[in-house]
Amino acid sequence: MTVGDVNTIDGTLTIRNAKFHKDRLVPMAPSLNERCRIYMEVMHPIKQPEYIFFPSPHGGQYCEKSIYDNFRRFLWQAGISHGGRGKGPRLHDIRHVFAVHCLKRWVRSGTDLTVALPYLSAYLGHTGLKSSQHYLRLTAELYPHIVATMDERFGGLLPGDDQ
C-alpha cells in the first residue's frame, strides 16, 4: 500500500489488485483514519504518493514471510496458540472474524440485514450474497440466533443441515 492509497481526508483506503484482481475503495473507521493521519504526518510529511505507507526497516515493502512471522509473533504476544502452518489461526481468518462480528453486532442492534448484508458482501469484495456464505458458516456454529434471524429475512440463502 502506498501513501497515495491512504486518503485521510475521505477516510478511505484503496486496495489495489485485490480479489479477482480488482481495485477496491474501503472505508476506514474514524479511529483508524485518525491513526493513519497521525502516522502520515510523522512518517510521510512530504506525502509522496508512490512511497510505501508502511515501509519495512529496509525501506521497501514487507515480504509475505515477514508479514506471516509478525502475525505469529503478535499471536504469541497476545497469548493465542497457533496450531501450525495451515491449522491456524491464519491471517486470512481476520476476514472471517470481521464478518462474524459485523453480523453479530447488526443482529443485536436490530439492523435490517436485508440492507446491511449487501454492504458486507461488497466490503469483502464479493460480487453477490452467495459469495458471502463461506464467511457465515462459522456464524451458524457459534451464533445460531444470527442464522435464525437471517433465515427469516433471506430464507434458503444459507445452507442448512439438509444440504
Identify the H or E element spanning 95. Answer: helix 93-109
Q: Is residue 110 helix, strand or coil?
A: coil
| 98 found inside a domain | yes
pLDDT for res 7: 98
Cα separation, 89 vs 162, whole angstroms: 29
| 78 found inside a domain | no
Cell of 130: 452467495
List beta partners, residue 13. Answer: 6, 26
CA angle (18 as vertex; 16, 19 as ends), nearest 5: 160
Per-position b or e across 94-114, b if 16+ CB within 10 A of its CB: eebeebbebbeebbeeeeebe
| 24 found inside a domain | yes
Cα separation, 43 vs 57, whole angstroms: 13
Domain that holds residue 19: 1-62
Q: Are residues 102 and 47 in the same domain?
A: no
| 77 found inside a domain | no
| 32 found inside a domain | yes
| 82 found inside a domain | no
| 47 found inside a domain | yes
Q: What is the pLDDT of residues 145-159, one digit of tens each?
A: 766 776 776 666 555
Q: What is the pLDDT of residues 107-159, one digit of tens each?
A: 889 888 788 888 888 888 887 777 776 666 656 666 677 667 767 766 665 55
**Counted domains in the chain:** 2
Q: Are residues 55 and 12 in the same domain?
A: yes
- 0.75 exceeded by pTM: no
Q: Are residues 102 and 143 in the same domain?
A: yes
